[in-house]
Amino acid sequence: MVAMTIFKNRTLRPFAAVALGLAAMVLAAAPKDAPATSGPGIDLPGMDRSVAPGDDFYRYANGTWMKTTEIPADRPAFGPDAVLAELTTTRTADLIKEAAASSAPAGSEARKVGDYYAAYMDEAGIEARGLAPLQPTLDRIAAIADRKSLSRYLGGTLRADVDAINATDMYTDNVFGVWVAQDMNDPSRYLPFLMQGGLDMPDRAYYLDDSARMETIRGKVKEHIGLRYLPLKIPDPQGKAARIYDLERKIAEAHASREDSGDVKKSNNHWARAEFETKAPGLDWDEFFTAAGLGAARDFGIWQPSAVTGISALAAREPVETWRDYLTFHALDHFASVLPEAFGQERFAFHGTVLAGTPERRDRWKRAVDAAGFALGEAVGRLYVEKYFPPQAKARVEEMVKNLMAAFGRRIDALDWMSPATRARAKAKLAVLKVGVGYPDAWLDYSGLRVERADAFANADRAERFEYERNLRKLGRPVDRSEWVMTPQTVNAVNLPVMNALNFPAAILQPPYFDPTRPAAMDYGAIGAVIGHEVSHSFDDSGALFDETGRFQNWWTDEDRAHFEAASERLAKQYDAYKPFPDLAVNGKLTLGENIADVAGLAASYDAYRLSLGGKPAPAVAGFTPDQQFFISFAQSWRQKVREPALRQQILGDGHAPNEYRGDTVRNLDPWYAAFDAKPGQALYLAPGDRVRVW
């Protein structure tokens, strides 16, 4: 909602989620109903057959589509995931509006969904109330007089708005975020993890990198901060903006880098409650944790210790007046979407246009649909699944999952370098993997969330608190491995490494990723590779660190690890060589986990496809052999156009390589060379010894 970013890691892709809370859905020609495949099942006119597949497979499969497709004005990027997101939003919107118009009984989920949407749409009411709904918060900030009251306020705004390795959302605009997850040293219990936050811009690099582009953005963020104060008629907004920015820069200096935050070895730190005063002096931790509802917690995970120490010291060192200004700015920014229009416009002008290059703000009704879907995600998901995800689709995908798991098991058996001990642990891990298809086994209970039809601000505030309290209630309870971290209406997929579970939401199980009416080769090339990608995350550079119980424990022998790391190193080099811009290359190390997942996922899905045939031949389509269909379908599932600022933002901070290079994963698979006759001298050609096979 108010603070979503495109910084996703272990998920399938970065832009499919609602990027910055403002990724877009204006696709005038978007189909209202499922785009049933009538025809070949792959996009033949979208290919460019004048390009040799061995030189540029991505353009061979997508060249004409790339030339003829425009990114809609309100999106940072565009591709099939955006088309599906649009279709799903349209459908979800219809369900939500239906709920708003119906007279569902008070207290029912349908009523809550409808009321949430209606309140968000009540623009006149929101304008009329002005800043009144935020006034109690502004008063609390104005009353901060010392370190103690500052600590109390900061604790009281703590929310469950981050996730280190499941949904992987590293960003919160509060100084810290809480992630309640399995203790990686003792996976039988939950632990509250503290994660760094407090920046208006997406990452510390925006404050500290000395490139010209970052200099320009820094100039604009100060304007953005100052403008926030104008409606409050507070004197010297520019002076305040400069001081607030300066505090944020100091917070950024304390932050761990995005790369370090993705490194579990550096991040799995445990602090006992009693250690905070000595390890991170500054904040009044008693006040902080009591206000946060965590007064009884004895142990914490500390994902970025430097940030906890640094921010706590700043709480004591920086003038209280600067903190008050900083918190006022953040409160206005945080709730901008449910305050009068001027605040939302200003937030979009900076976060949407300056940071992501998106020219137009999305229509209010689309934002309202997102907001309701975010606050009441599984309630909306339940309505969605009942209407759009038939049991036959679930059964068919589960059959593919079965073949993928079998293929993965065979690949593990066939690894000549792996020791029997490591092999046994890998097979044990594969055996416990809990694969969720479409929707969770049990739905979340929203009976404790109050929603009022006439109060968008209070609804948003209560929804955040509800989610926070729901997470705190997990502490001390048995771990529930069936819980999902994505809603069924999300066009994405995710691996939950500590839970040893995978989520494949219903909304990604649609064409062009999945279509039971087309030849199976195409489904295995698209959704099959996605499933393989997520399975392999359990065995990639981070997944290899968690055993079959979710414990953070090296389950490899040293020799096995050495081989794995050597292969990883070669893959990192392969991606380091991709340069989308003369001054910016893909970061092979940052994207390594995702790239391993792409290679392993595609290879496993190819095997699973062969397995599914049971020795029977498959038909050619439009002159393409089954193997060619498989690889073209794969490259087409990754087609995407991205605006330059958004692409640069992704390369700097996201764990996923740009889609074009993900499509080029094919060059690591021997069958691709046979299928397209790729030869030495062609740009994508790798000698057999240079093709990376990790699994």
172 to 208, 367, 512: CA distances (angstroms): 18, 20, 33
Q: Which positions ≥6 away from 137 have C-beta within 8 Å?
A: 331
> Would you say 523 or 594 has its CB closer to Zn ion?
594
Torsion angle of alpha carbons 208, 214, 217, 221, nearest 10°?
Answer: 0
Site map 294..333 versus Zn ion, x via CB under 5 A: ----------------------------------------
Give the residue among 642, 646, 658 at the shortest CA–CA distance from 575: 658
The length of the chain, given as a count of residues = 695
Q: Which positions ≥6 away from 250 have C-beta within 8 Å?
A: 310, 314, 318
> Would you say 134 or 597 has its CB closer to Zn ion?
597
> Would you say 240 or 533 has its CB closer to Zn ion?
533
The CB-of-13 to Zn ion minimum distance in angstroms stands at 8
Site map 555..594 versus Zn ion, x via CB under 5 A: ---------------------------------------x
Residue 581 DSSP class: B
Q: Which positions ≥6 away from 649 have C-beta within 8 Å?
A: 6, 202, 355, 356
The CB-of-396 to Zn ion minimum distance in angstroms stands at 23
The CB-of-401 to Zn ion minimum distance in angstroms stands at 16
> Would you say 370 or 540 has its CB closer to Zn ion?
540
Question: How many of the chain's residues bind Zn ion (CB under 5 A)?
Answer: 2
Q: In the range 250-269, which residues lie near Zn ion by CB under 5 A?
A: none
- Contact 369/18 with Cβ under 8 angstroms? no
> Would you say 255 or 537 has its CB closer to Zn ion?
537
The CB-of-665 to Zn ion minimum distance in angstroms stands at 12
The CB-of-575 to Zn ion minimum distance in angstroms stands at 14
Nearest 5 degrees, angle CA 421-CA 689-CA 427?
20
CA dist., res. 331 & res. 337, Å (int): 11
> Would you say 126 or 642 has its CB closer to Zn ion?
642
> Would you say 522 or 529 has its CB closer to Zn ion?
529
SS3 per residue for 175-242: CEEEEEEEECCEEEEEEEEEEECCCCCCCCHHHHCCCHHHHHHHHHHHHHHHHCCHHHCCCCHHHHHH
The CB-of-599 to Zn ion minimum distance in angstroms stands at 12
The CB-of-649 to Zn ion minimum distance in angstroms stands at 18
The CB-of-481 to Zn ion minimum distance in angstroms stands at 20
The CB-of-3 to Zn ion minimum distance in angstroms stands at 22
The CB-of-11 to Zn ion minimum distance in angstroms stands at 6
315 to 61, 96, 321, 521: CA distances (angstroms): 54, 43, 11, 58
> Would you say 357 or 532 has its CB closer to Zn ion?
532
Q: Please give the distance of CA 267 from its chain centroid, rounded to a whole number.
A: 19
Q: Which positions ≥6 away from 200 have C-beta within 8 Å?
A: 173, 221, 224, 225, 248, 329, 330, 333
Work out which of 18, 20, 294, 597 binds Zn ion, going by CB under 5 A: 597
If you search the block for the tokens 């086994």, which residue do you land on? 441
Q: Please give the distance of CA 181 from its chain centroid, rounded to a whole number.
A: 17
The CB-of-597 to Zn ion minimum distance in angstroms stands at 5
The CB-of-537 to Zn ion minimum distance in angstroms stands at 6
Q: Segment contacting Zn ion (CB under 5 A): 65-73, 94-102, 452-460, 595-603?
A: 595-603
> Would you say 336 or 530 has its CB closer to Zn ion?
530
End-to-end alpha carbon distance in the chain:
38
* Residue 505: strand, helix, or coil: strand
> Would you say 92 or 166 has its CB closer to Zn ion?
166
CA dist., res. 409 & res. 403, Å (int): 10
> Would you say 203 or 594 has its CB closer to Zn ion?
594
> Would you say 525 or 601 has its CB closer to Zn ion?
601
Under the binding rule (CB under 5 A), the answer on residue 496 touching Zn ion is no
> Would you say 264 or 597 has its CB closer to Zn ion?
597
335 to 223, 338, 344, 446, 652: CA distances (angstroms): 19, 6, 9, 22, 27
Residue 143 DSSP class: T
503 to 136, 292, 600: CA distances (angstroms): 40, 30, 18
Query: In 433-549, where does DSSP find H-type helix?
Result: 456-472, 520-523, 529-537
The CB-of-113 to Zn ion minimum distance in angstroms stands at 30
> Would you say 74 or 541 has its CB closer to Zn ion?
541
Q: In what order do the strands lie in the sheet with 176-183?
A: 176-183, 186-196, 299-302, 269-272
CA dist., res. 23 & res. 532, Å (int): 27
The CB-of-170 to Zn ion minimum distance in angstroms stands at 15
> Would you say 327 or 597 has its CB closer to Zn ion?
597
Extract the tokens encoding 380: 């909306």
- Contact 113/379 with Cβ under 8 angstroms? yes
The CB-of-529 to Zn ion minimum distance in angstroms stands at 11
Q: In what order do the strands lie in the sheet with 501-505?
A: 434-438, 501-505, 494-496
Which residues contact Zn ion (rule: CB under 5 A)?
Answer: 594, 597
